[in-house]
Chains A and B, each alone.
Chain A
Amino acid sequence: MYAAKRVTYAKKLLSTVGIDPARLEMYNLSAAMGPKWAEICTEFTERIRKLGHSPIWLAVCKQSGMKRSEEK
């Protein structure tokens, strides 16, 4: 499956620029799998929350002088 290979490649590119490849993920499911979709969304959101702000976001904030308390 080419999409899977491309996601693997994209993950590699992300880690080259210092971004945790776990921030990108591919899941396989069909339109009928409603509950599964909800589960994945929750899981992934939780994963990202645990990983914290992306280094890009932090860098952009730093550059634009925004204080940490103002970050959403």
Chain B
Amino acid sequence: MIVGKQKPFEEIWDMIKNFKKVLVFGCNTCVAICHAGGGKEAEILASMLRMKAYQEGVEMEVKHAAIERHCEPEFFDPVMEDVKTNDVVLSTACGVGVNFLAERIGDIPVFPGINTQFFGAVPKAGVFVELCAGCGNCVLHLTGGICPVARCAKSLMNGPCGGTNNGKCEISQDVDCAWYLILERMTKLGTLEKLSEIKPPRDWSTGIYGGPRRIVLEHIADVEAQEEKKES
């Protein structure tokens, strides 16, 4: 899931303080799971903005709403008319949601209430860890299922580096050395010898550094285009 954290309150206030009608718009999927921007969090944030507005003597109407997801048009359609009655939308969905809403909302600004951070999992309640970097060129079958791109601070392909410290990464005692974990796991799996092969320089162009990515599934996309043609 996508994991993010709500922006500091002062930063959010700064963004919307000059608007009269604010909608705090939550998403009930990923950001709800990480308690950053679900319907509940949107409601709390709206309430805090109201309290701040009163104290600053600013006239502001703050509403809150939430839909299932901000990444597919079908969830926006039923509420779009209401959404457009506001001066600004403070989206507490992930960055995807902010982008997607901004594309279809016309000339009302959409601001991010969240700093979207990573793809992660929840090892225990309240703890979220980054496990995937979306590099587009997955080598997890060669590293025992532990991602060197996302979890090694230097994204080494032939790690570990000389900075590993008691199984922890040199950048922090809170961060496990990914290569230490890979070595452990591959030893357990009996595949350690595979690591003596030198992995050649990676193709990074499949990742974010190669430019924004797009996938088109011909067998689905074409069908939709055909149906749209039939209807018109």
Let me know if chains A and B touch directly in the complex, using CB atoms closer than 8 Å.
yes
Interface residues of chain A, those whose CB is within 8 Å of chain B, are 13, 16-19, 55-56, 59-60, 62-63
In the complex, what distance in Å separates the CA atom of A18 from the CA atom of B57?
A: 13
> Which 9 pairs from chain A and chain B are nearest by CB?
A59-B54, A17-B51, A16-B9, A17-B52, A59-B55, A17-B48, A55-B55, A56-B54, A18-B55
With contacts A55-B54, A56-B55, A60-B54 known, what are 7 further pairs, Cβ within 8 A?
A13-B48, A17-B48, A17-B51, A18-B55, A59-B57, A63-B54, A63-B59
Q: B44 at the A/B interface (Cβ < 8 Å)?
A: yes
Q: In the bound complex, do residue A17 and residue B55 qualify as a contact, i.e. CB atoms below 8 Å apart?
A: yes
Interface size on B, residues (CB 8 A): 9
In the complex, what distance in Å separates the CA atom of A56 from the CA atom of B59?
A: 13
In the complex, what distance in Å separates the CA atom of A59 from the CA atom of B44?
A: 20
In the complex, what distance in Å separates the CA atom of A18 from the CA atom of B56?
A: 10
Residues of A close to B59: CB separation below 8 A: 63
- Nearest-CB distance from A3 to chain B (Å)? 15
- Nearest-CB distance from A8 to chain B (Å)? 13
A57 to chain B: closest residue by CB: B54
- Nearest-CB distance from A15 to chain B (Å)? 10
In the complex, what distance in Å separates the CA atom of A18 from the CA atom of B54?
A: 11
In the complex, what distance in Å separates the CA atom of A60 from the CA atom of B54?
A: 6
Residues of A close to B51: CB separation below 8 A: 17-19, 56
Residues of B close to A16: CB separation below 8 A: 9, 48
In the complex, what distance in Å separates the CA atom of A62 from the CA atom of B53?
A: 13
Instruction: Produce 1/0 per residue, B42-64, CB < 8 A to A.
Output: 00100010011011010100000
